[in-house]
Amino acid sequence: MHETHDRSKRVLAALIREYIVTGEPVASALLVTAAGLGVSSATVRNILARLEDEGYVQQPHTSAGRIPTDRGYRFYVDLLLESKRSGRTATAVEARLRRDWPGPLPDSLLSQASHVVSQASGLVAFALRPAQGGAVFDRVEFIPLSSGRVLVVIVARGGHVLQKVIDINEPLGADELRQAANYLNAEFTGLPLARAREAVLERIDEERLLCDALFARAMRLATSTFGNLSDEPMLYIEGTASLIEDAPGMTMSALQVLVQMIEEKQRLVRLLNEYIDGPGLTVVIGAEHPEPNLRSFSLVASTYDEAAGTGTIGVIGPTRMRYSRAIAVVDGAAQAVSRVLRDSN
């Protein structure tokens, strides 16, 4: 911003806050009070003229008031990110997740998290769980449950745990299961789960080893252990109906674009993969979207950690969204999900 004086920042922030609430162009007379600067209306008009010249606000039609541009929203969001405080929100979200989560599977937690975030923000909320095949295998344990059923506990790097129950066609005791686990741990530790699955199939093809009873048993267990681990990320979405009912300033065509993207799901997954290049918060505003038909929307997302890697929680909605609320809720939910999953291991 060419005009770096604190007054310009405060006027722009006050204008954006007011516009987000009302959806109406903001007049300079209102900003004299809202910005709390103790300056004249003429001074505020001069500041607004500079902000308009620099592309932070615009004057729609012949209105006396101004509205923020996407560049103005970006400046405002960057101010929020510098001073974000999500601790209290994270605590409240975590308390609700722990209360309502049936456990122990992450899928139900992420479904609940998307619901909580949508309710708290009033926006479309999503939770993206990474493909399980991306987790790095550390060790496996087999626990006999009943005749022909075994609990498989896969421990991934970082101490994260995946659990599944498998059915086997042979009665195996604890010693035999432990021997099989020791064999698999020696062979596959350090491989991504998807690669471990491929390695199991390759080993089975080596017919000369199949005469080894321990090896054959271990491979049968490994086939069930590493099979059916999703190679596709899971996406949970909540709140589409509420956005359609109350979408401030959005055209029907823009809503149709959003609804279509939500229905396709994989399109949103691809966008997130493009946007998320590291841990923490990501905010994409309007014109910053590479796809022109998404430029009516803003997206706020934050990462969380789980066994298979890094997941994402976020919201998508109109550029005129309550960014302060969205950032606090999304960041708080991501922190809460990370903690709940860590504590459940």
DSSP string, 299-313: EEEEEEEETTEEEEE
Q: Which residue type is seen at 217?
A: R
Residue 117: pLDDT band (50, 70, 90) is very high
Q: Contact at 8 Å (CB) between 278 and 253?
A: no
The whole-angstrom separation of Cα 218 and Cα 186 is: 12
* C-alpha torsion sign, points 125, 267, 286, 300: positive
Residue 3 confidence (pLDDT): 41
Which stretch of 17-21, 35-39, 324-328 has the lowest confidence by average pLDDT?
35-39
pLDDT at 48 exceeding the cut of 90: yes
Instruction: State the CATH class of domain 6-68.
Output: mainly alpha
* C-alpha torsion sign, points 111, 116, 117, 119: positive
Which part of the chain is CATH 3.30.390? 133-226
Which stretch of 10-24, 130-144, 282-296 has the lowest confidence by average pLDDT?
130-144
Give the pTM: 0.74
**Domain covering 133-226 assigned CATH 3.30.390 in the classification:** yes
The whole-angstrom separation of Cα 268 and Cα 281 is: 17
Residue 4 confidence (pLDDT): 41
82-130+233-344 CATH:
3.30.450.40
Residue 132 confidence (pLDDT): 65
Element (H, E) at 218: helix 213-226
Check residues 13 and 143 and name the one with the higher pLDDT.
Answer: 13
| Burial per residue of 220-236, b for 16 or more beta-carbon CB atoms within 10 angstroms, e otherwise | bbbebbbeebeeebbbb
The whole-angstrom separation of Cα 195 and Cα 193 is: 5
Q: Contact at 8 Å (CB) between 215 and 209?
A: yes
Residue 229: pLDDT band (50, 70, 90) is low
The whole-angstrom separation of Cα 120 and Cα 112 is: 12
Residue 53: pLDDT band (50, 70, 90) is very high
Check residues 261 and 313 and name the one with the higher pLDDT.
Answer: 313
Which part of the chain is CATH 3.30.450.40? 82-130+233-344
With a pLDDT cut of 90, the percent of the chain lying above it is: 24
Residue 345 confidence (pLDDT): 59
E runs forming strands in 233-278:
234-238
The whole-angstrom separation of Cα 207 and Cα 215 is: 11
pLDDT at 340 exceeding the cut of 80: yes
Residue whose C-alpha is closest to residue 328's, from 123, 81, 15 = 81
Residue 2 confidence (pLDDT): 45
With a pLDDT cut of 70, the percent of the chain lying above it is: 82
Map 77-134 to HEC letters. HHHHHHCCCCHHHHHHHHHHHHHHCCCCCHHHHHHHHHHHHHHHHCCEEEEEECCHHH
Give burial (CB, 10 Å; 0-12/13-18/19+) of 152: buried
pLDDT at 130 exceeding the cut of 50: yes
Residues 6+ apart with CB under 8 A from 316: 123, 124, 126, 258, 268, 297, 298, 299, 300
The residue-averaged pLDDT of 279-291 equals: 90
pLDDT at 116 exceeding the cut of 70: yes
- Between the alpha carbon of residue 38 and those of residues 30, 32, 41, 83, 102, the distances in Å are 12, 7, 10, 24, 54
Strand partners, 306: 309
3-class DSSP state of 228: coil
Q: What is the mean pLDDT of the chain?
A: 81
The residue-averaged pLDDT of 30-51 equals: 83
